[in-house]
Chain A
Amino acid sequence: MSDRELFLELLDLPDPAKRDRLLEEQCAGDAVRKQRMERLFRAHGRAGEFLEGALEDLSPTLLQVPATATACHVGAGTVLAGRYSLVRTIGRGGMGVVWIAEQSEPVARPVAIKLIRPDLDSAATFARFATERQTLAMMDHPNIAKVFDGGTTEDGRPFVVMELVEGVPITRFCDEACLGLDERLELFITVCRAIHHAHQKGIIHRDLKPSNVLIAQQDGNPVPKIIDFGVAKTTQGRLDSLVTSTGHGDMIGTPQYWSPEQAGLNPHDVDTRSDIYGLGLLLYELLTGRPPFSVESGGPIGIVELVRAIRETDPPPPSETGPDAVRSAARRTTPDRLVRRLRSDLDWITMKCLEKDRNRRYESADGLAADLIRYLADEPVLAGPPSHAYRLRKLARKHRGPLAAAAALVLAMIGGSVGTTFGMLRAAQAETEARDHERVARERFVLAQAAVNAYLAAITEDEELKRADHHKLRMRLLKSALPFYQQLAAERPNDPEQLLAQAIAYRRHAELAREMGELESARVSLEQAESIIRVILRKPSSPEARLELARVKRRLADLSADRGDGRTAFVEYLAAIAILEQVVGDQPFGPAVGMDLARTYNNFGLLLDQERQATSGEQFERAVQIMENLAQRSDVTVEFLELHSVCLNNLGNHLIEGQRFADARRHLDRALVLTQRLVQDDPNSPSLIQKRAGIQANLARVDEAQGDAVAARRGMEAAAAALKSLADRFPHHADYRLQWVGVENNAAMLQCETGDPMGALVRHDAIIARMAAIAERPQGLYADYLSNAHAGRAVALQKLNRQADAAEAWKQAVISAPDEVRPLRESNHAVILARLGHHDAARELVTKLAASESRLVVYNLACACAILHRSTRAAGDAEQAITFLKSAIERGYARREVIEQDPDLEGLRERPDYLELVGRTMAEPRRTEAPFKS
């Protein structure tokens, strides 16, 4: 046992007797050791604060700066160059000390003087300093402190005379004046412009930080002034300032404002982009109230880690810095609002400045200013999510190879055929040579075609490119492939394979265009594709061409459905189905064709649903059946499984409408299991997350329909949360946002139903506010959801017994409703008008809606009439109520308990015709469905 082990074991024994026993045992026959241990024990008792403290505290004189070291005697009162009288020091930097001085002639004014410290390599430093001073003097910008003069002291130390700026650091100024973000950005843009001016003169600041960007008052206006330009440069970069703290409380003692390159191997390797980084730091702090990197503990180890962090880790984007109430108040806003404003654009702009790789930052300070101006003008900014541009460039590079190869081959091919023609014209002895040329040309053609195909496949199948944030690039790359196909087709106008390839390229282009909402461009491409295929089909051709025609037809149908042209869509879907069924015939078919078929049926079903056609169920069933038949095969892809779950979901959805809840649950459960498995393999895929959320939302609808509102809410909230994070992640992707709004609305309605109408009301208000802010696509689904939100709001208000407010909300719901939902909203409005005693208005609506075929509308009309009867006692109202109720039940209104407990129907209860009737029902307002198209 070593001395240490024994010592520690003895230390662990609280009982002195036991300790003695152990000591005796271990030191048997070794009196020296025993004595040593006893001394150690004694020392342990006395050591106290020994060694507890920093070396410099224990032995301060050893680390003290000797009096002889600072040889230059400069102090207050010293007069430099016969006209600058030093007053007091105001700061200390890497290069020396800054003084306030009084200039006596030619003008009397206060100035700032930076006195350079004598250095070991002073000659070189001084020489460079002199050159720098010349350069600085050339800068003439209202937002940059001017350099007036310079010289050397008696003992040869250079100094520089600068404009004395009396101001406060920009961050402090903004906080003290409680400037909002826009005002801060405007000041900051001025700073960017000034920096740009300097950069154009070839001058780099190198040390941008809040204490070097001051705000001075000029004629009552805040004017930014950048100080300390370029002067910070020393032979040792900026590391000098680390060792001693200045005691002024500024952050000179830490490297928190270093750029990654300054914190890197070669701190001298800075350029204008280091200033862009510096501007980013400033922007970050102006926006969030804290620097992106700082030392929490202040300890030196912290500094080592800080430098590592600057080199290696990305700070949280401004919106994720958790602004508190104080910081938000200094920006005249609340934490929530601040976070919302920072998210996306401002996050991206700031993070683009702070990229570790300076090639990824803004190229100029002016570029940064321009992006901020775009932001302020609500125009799209150039900056994307962090590293986005970089990733895009990387992807573009990745695909540039095949494209370049294709381009070269196409050129070579054309060269080859020209050569061929030329060769043919020559005399007969050249015939062999000419044949060779032609062979070469043909080979090149085949190669070129292969290269273009490979390029196209690479673009369309690249997983990274498929992600929502890369659509634009994918589209651009695809567009770049089209001319090659056209060129290839022009070379071989009669080659069906070539034509087919061209048609496919057009079709793929159309798919992407549609994904991006460029419906017209998609339609044009599809029509191109179709006309090309028609050319191929004039001659006997492969089934591939017919399959392709079916694909094009289906997409034309999808497009028509998107544009609300149901009739055209109907015809095109039928055409696509007819072609596909004919091609597959009795032959067994593989997953690829099966998916085409199932997709077509699925989308056809959705169209029929939308058009309220009863036969939609058959289409979904057929789609599911096709997928089930193929599901057992081993060659199914992720895409197949995804489509399978989509078909199951839509069938489930259809079954909910038909009130076959158990069957619906069975299909939705299967869809969820499939999707869940896919999400596990690819947890970040937005489209999978979206699908899973949709299925969850639909299962929640089943829960609700079966009376379990609590379970329904649980599922709906989970779906809403998932969709919200998607919408936040892809702010330019309207679908995610829209779907989130729909599901969020559902969740809020369930919150109301599970006993929290107040909470629900707040959420509905938020949804309406958010939709008002988006103000896009005020028709179709958007209008539907907005109307739904108003309806949800109205229901919550009714629960809170704010009937008049509820009436107003129903009115809003009517106004925003798309045509097909308006009668329903109006019928709700009629009910509340009846309750409020507005009999005439209520009756007017009842008359207007009397012919409706919707069981929900009719049920509401029954309620309105029953209420009217209760207050008017008019027999006609009661009869009308019974008629409507009967009609609702005939149309499938099936929730008996709702009818039996509905207070609106109170006035009818004793009537024998009522008692005959009582049946089953469903709830209002309508839940938003989550159907999928694929």
Chain B
Amino acid sequence: MGPDSRTSDDAVPIVYDELRRLAAAHLAQEPAGQTLTATALVHEAYLRLASMPGWTSDRHFFNAAALAMRRILVDRARARRSEKRGGQRHRVELLDSVRDPVDRLDVLEFDEALEALAAVDAMAAELVHLRFFAGMTRDRAAQLLEISPRQADRVWAFAKAWLYDRVGALDD
């Protein structure tokens, strides 16, 4: 198989490694508590990897990057969950006007829901991928998917409702 016929999945390990390496480098450098931005990580990976031969298109790359980012997050979430099971508790001190960051999304749950959506509507899942994990704006994602921004809004509305139904169902 020539480099040009590489699919998103084939490319994921490369992006995955690069993203992990980048994240590690930044985690080593930045002060504790600072949050990395996922989109910046992806774009940095893009800057490093996009000029490599083998990408058929930006869409190809960003899908691979989104997938890699999703895996990193899922891996970290899994590791975290097992930590929680270990049962160590931290005391939470509330400071005036500064709130600790709170996760509003269970990444593992979301990952499963997205997988299910992909089976029902591949384009809707890809749009979520690009926007959520690769940090694309609506317009840029629409451009990659070769649909109009208006169309992207409509597909997004569907995906959002679909995923909310799945992920949010636990609260209901």
Query: Do A and B make up one complex?
Result: yes
Interface residues, chain A, with chain B CB atoms under 8 Å away: 2-4, 7-8, 11, 39-44, 46-47, 50-51, 54-70, 96, 117-120, 236, 239-240, 242-244, 255, 263-265, 299-301, 303-304, 307
**Shortest distance between the CB of A3 and any CB in chain B (Å):** 6
Q: Contact residues of B with A, CB < 8 Å?
A: 22, 24-44, 46-48, 50-51, 69, 73, 76-77, 80, 101-105, 107, 120-121, 124, 128, 131-133, 135-137, 140, 154-155, 157-158, 160-165, 168
State the main secondary structure of chain B at its contact with A: helix
* A-chain residues with CB within 8 Å of residue B34 when the two chains form the complex: 64-65, 244
Q: What residues of B have a CB within 8 angstroms of the CB of A55 in the complex?
A: 38-39, 69, 73, 132-133, 135
Inter-subunit contact B32/A59 (CB<8 Å): no
Could you show 11 A-B contacts with beta carbons less than 8 Å apart? Answer: A2-B121, A43-B164, A47-B168, A51-B128, A65-B26, A65-B32, A65-B36, A244-B36, A265-B51, A300-B39, A301-B135
The docked-state distance in angstroms from the alpha carbon of A56 to that of B46 is: 18
A70-B37 contact given A58-B105, A62-B76, A307-B47, CB 8 Å threshold = no
Residues in A with CB closer than 8 Å to B47 are 239, 242, 255, 263, 303-304, 307
CB A118 to nearest CB in B, in angstroms, measures 7
Which residue on A lies nearest to B160, using beta carbons?
A: A47
Q: How far is the CA of A51 from the CA of B133 in the complex (A)?
A: 11
Q: How far is the CA of A194 from the CA of B23 in the complex (A)?
A: 37
Bound-complex Cα distance A61 to B33 (A): 9
Among A68, A236, A301, the residue within 8 A (CB) of B140 is A301
Residues of A within 8 Å of B26, CB to CB, are 65, 240, 243-244
Which A residues lie within 8 Å of B40 (CB)? 242-244, 300, 303
With A62-B103, A65-B31 as contacts: A40 and B140 at CB distance below 8 Å: no
Option from A43, A57, A96, A303 in Cβ contact (under 8 Å) with B161: A43
Q: Which 8 A-B pairs have the closest CB atoms?
A: A60-B101, A43-B165, A44-B161, A47-B164, A67-B32, A300-B43, A58-B105, A43-B161
Q: Are A120 and B24 in contact (CB-based, < 8 A)? A: yes
A120-B25, A240-B25 as given contacts; A64 in contact with B35, CB under 8 Å: yes
Whether A44 contacts B25 by the Cβ 8 Å rule is no
Quote the shortest CB–CB distance from B122 to chain A (angstroms): 10
Residue in chain B with minimal CB distance to A5:
B158
CB distance from B21 to the nearest CB of A (A): 8
- Tell me the complex Cα distance, A299–B134, Å: 12
Does the CB pair B101–A64 fall under 8 Å?
yes
Cβ of B48 to closest chain A Cβ, rounded Å: 7
CB <8 Å contact, A70 and B30: yes
B160 and A59 within 8 A (CB): no
Partner of B103, one of A11, A58, A264: A58
Q: Max chain A CB contacts within 10 Å: which of B29, B35, B136?
A: B29
20 extra interface residue pairs, beta carbon distance < 8 Å, beyond A59-B103, A60-B102 = A43-B161, A43-B165, A44-B164, A46-B164, A50-B164, A51-B132, A55-B133, A59-B104, A62-B73, A65-B31, A67-B33, A118-B28, A119-B25, A240-B26, A243-B41, A243-B44, A244-B37, A300-B42, A300-B43, A301-B135
Q: Which residues of A contact B50 (CB under 8 A)?
A: 304
For A96, the chain B residues whose CB sits under 8 A away are 29
Q: Which of A2, A4, A54, A69 contacts B37 (CB under 8 A)?
A: A54
Chain B residues within 8 Å of A58, by CB: 103-105
A263 neighbours in B (Cβ, 8 Å)? 47
Tell me whether A117 and B29 are in contact in the complex, defined as CB-CB below 8 angstroms, given that A65-B36, A264-B51, A301-B137 are known contacts: yes
Check B158 against A4 for contact (C-beta < 8 Å).
yes
Contact B44 A242 (CB under 8 A): yes
